[in-house]
Amino acid sequence: MIPADDLVELVRAYNPKTNEKLIREAYEFGLEMHEGQYRHSGEPYFTHPIEVAAILTEQQLDDATIITALLHDTIEDTKASYQEVAKRFGNEIAMLVDGVTKLTNLQLSSTETKQAENFRKLFMAMSKDLRVILVKLADRLHNMRTIRAMRPQKQVVKARETMDIYAPLAGRMGMQWMREELEDLAFKVLNPDGRASIMRRFITLQKETGDVIERITADIETELEKAGIEAQIYGRAKKPYSIWRKMQTKDQGFSRLSDIYGFRIVSNSDEDCYRILGVIHQRWRAVPGRFKDYISQPKSNGYRSIHTTVSGRDGRRVEVQIRTRQMHDVAETGVAAHWSYRDGVRGENPFAVDPARWIRSLTEQFDTEEDHEDFLEAVKLEMYQDQVFCFTPTGDVVKLPRGATPIDFAYAIHTRIGNACVGAKIDHMRVPLWTRIKNGQSVEIITAHGQMPQATWLDVATTGKAKSAIRRALRELDHERFVKLGFELARAAFVHVGKKPTEKVLDMAAKQLRLEDRDSLLARLGSAELRADEVVQAVYPELAQEEGDLVAADRAVIGLSPEQSFQRAPCCEPLPGERIVGITYRGKGVVVHAIDCDTLLKFEDQAERWLDLHWQVGKHQPVYGATLDLTIGNDAGVLGRICSLIGEHKANISDLEFTDRKPDFYRLLIHVELRDMEHLHSLMLALQAESEVATIERLRDPSRAYPSSSKE
């Protein structure tokens, strides 16, 4: 346990004017209140608040935040009351402690409706005083550092919540170091085998290449000395989870990842930053498309830096970040820099953003979302994505998430512009609406009177604002049509069980399903957001029939008529989670193909045989087959490890076929039974991480396709 004197010294190191007496009093009060309480590890409970306070001293935060950390569990877990804390430490600290207590009680990983409600409370607490979330993040960080003392099931719940909510939130606030540590600690719990595999590959790489970081640091120092530039250089290997995520997004194995080393160069001035950039690019070849200037276009949380990636020593890619000392301080603490101290002076950093303005910009659009699902989507899209900066034709800067399209740009300008969009120009060239916008591009939206959003835009848009505006417009356009269609579906379902869908019955169903009125019920039914059997069962639960009896029967694939059967195409073996289409066959019913299956080219001139289908979530059978094409090292025990890994991921091997044998490698086909695309993706990533797996891909075999001439 850190003694009170040591904690005070940690604070005094950056704030000589600290109120030592109040910190000591809070320490003694917390120690007294938590006396007799112990953590799962067996340690005295008060070791936790002290460690949380110590984490916050690393960010050089003010006395109120440090004291809040020491007391953050007293109101919740001890006999201390809000009034007592306010009397002894003041209203500001009492409000902060109470805010952290309320955040602790939020179940952010609960059902969607509850989760949306709790996210609103989270943002409300943040908007009152952002220091509440700073203490909560430090609290979660220490809990994750000591998570091994908890039950395995509890570890998984906490780790998933950390990965989904707290780590992205720390990143959005600019506290990148905390995000990386939270992600890696959660990764260690959620996928210990994957992390261990990354670590093994790292050790192997270091044995093969030696200390790359030390050599590249020396190279950079030499070049800067030649140019007469003073700067500090920090090099590091990226965290295991960061590497794992790159393997996912780039669909590459570890051996093909190149930019796994990062370097930060901290200079004395903005001018030196750009001089250093010139030195780096003159000495090493810049990688196209990997340059970002966040000095001229800062992020909304105050982050400023120049990012570039170059081909360094031995052709190995390295990422380089260049910034000044003040920029570096904000990059380390993010929005928290507003409360940080240096030499006893608070908030001197010119790059520290106003927390109130930052949280207002983050939350202003969420207040308009009424639907829980839409609200959650908007929150997660806006919080958890990096940004690109683009320009209007008049030169105004527009910030959008990475991967944004002209549709997102149009709605970012104004909903009216988005609804009327018919086309776009990027850098004066006409482009499709699904084009991804890149940093620094100029975007012009072409509009037309009378144009309305298309349903396909939902697949194109990436921002919560655009998606919710499109959905709202589509609902308004289709409401009347959906109501009519919904009534016909309801009428058929009620007649099937010998009942009539009177206004009173539909009103009762709407009430039972917690919808506003019967029109809302019918509209959701007509738009396939609700099933007819659910409506019938809401009013007449005793008439719930066996699966398949109602008109709106539960089927694995939606879009088939009642008499049509289906089978998966052997050429592409589509899985739940993939976009699919059906091709009708005489005697075979409907054959379902993945939308990107090459076999579909044979049917381009037979449009009458195409059916628009999609998987019904939760209604497909437990397993479907898929085929993996692997090349593995020809060493003892390799195949056994591969098979064991597949079993560990709850996948079953139904067949195994060797297609090529060489002295140094095998090539084989493994037929596995899986739940869906997510299951397949998870398994392939785990196999890619294995050092003995040279290549892996999903097999698509057009030669196994059914003939195209068998018309129904």
Residues 650-679: tens digit of each pLDDT: 888 877 888 887 777 888 899 888 888 888
Residue 53 included in any domain:
yes
State the total domains in the chain: 4
231 shares a domain with 138: no
260 shares a domain with 129: no
Residue pair 242/183 in contact by the 8 Å Cβ criterion: yes
707 shares a domain with 576: yes
Residue pair 671/678 in contact by the 8 Å Cβ criterion: no
Residue 294 included in any domain:
yes
Closest CA to 389 of 435, 424, 439: 439
Closest CA to 67 of 24, 105, 108, 110: 24
Ranges 262-271, 528-537, 543-552, 606-615: which has the least confidence:
543-552
The whole-angstrom separation of Cα 243 and Cα 237 is 10
Q: Last residue of some domain: 159, 190, 221? A: 190
Range of the domain at 561: 556-712
Q: What are phi and psi of 304, to 5 degrees?
A: -135, 135
Is the CA virtual torsion 340, 343, 347, 351 positive or negative?
negative
18 shares a domain with 153: yes
Question: Would the pTM count as exceeding 0.85?
Answer: no
CATH label of the domain that carries residue 238: 3.30.460.10
Residue 401 included in any domain:
no
Residue 371 included in any domain:
no
End-to-end CA distance of the chain: 77
DSSP lists the bridge partners of residue 430 as 425
614 shares a domain with 664: yes
The whole-angstrom separation of Cα 526 and Cα 522 is 6
Give the residue numbers marked as catalytic. Answer: 76-77
Q: Last residue of some domain: 340, 373, 404? A: 340
Helix (H) or strand (E) segment spanning residue 610: strand 610-615
Return the percentage of the chain with pLDDT > 70, whole number. Answer: 82
123 shares a domain with 57: yes
Average pLDDT score over the chain: 80
Residue 403 included in any domain:
no
CATH label of the domain that carries residue 80: 1.10.3210.10
Q: 225 pLDDT band (50/70/90 cuts)?
A: very high
Residue 7 tokens read as 């904690």
Residue 551 included in any domain:
no
492 shares a domain with 563: no
Is the CA virtual torsion 254, 259, 265, 266 positive or negative?
negative
pLDDT at 23: 92
Residues 482-519: tens digit of each pLDDT: 788 788 888 877 877 778 888 888 988 888 887 888 88
Residues 452-470: tens digit of each pLDDT: 888 788 888 888 788 888 8
Match 């940690």 to its residue by tokens.
Answer: 10
Residue 396 included in any domain:
no
151 shares a domain with 39: yes
Q: 547 pLDDT band (50/70/90 cuts)?
A: very low
538 shares a domain with 560: no
Residue pair 95/129 in contact by the 8 Å Cβ criterion: yes
Whole-angstrom Cα Rg for the chain:
29
Residues 43-100: tens digit of each pLDDT: 898 999 999 999 999 888 889 999 999 998 888 888 888 899 899 999 989 988 888 8
635 shares a domain with 516: no
Q: What are phi and psi of 182, to 5 degrees?
A: -60, -45
CATH label of the domain that carries residue 627: 3.30.70.260
pLDDT at 553: 40
572 shares a domain with 531: no
Q: Last residue of some domain: 292, 309, 340? A: 340
Residue 358 included in any domain:
no
701 shares a domain with 616: yes
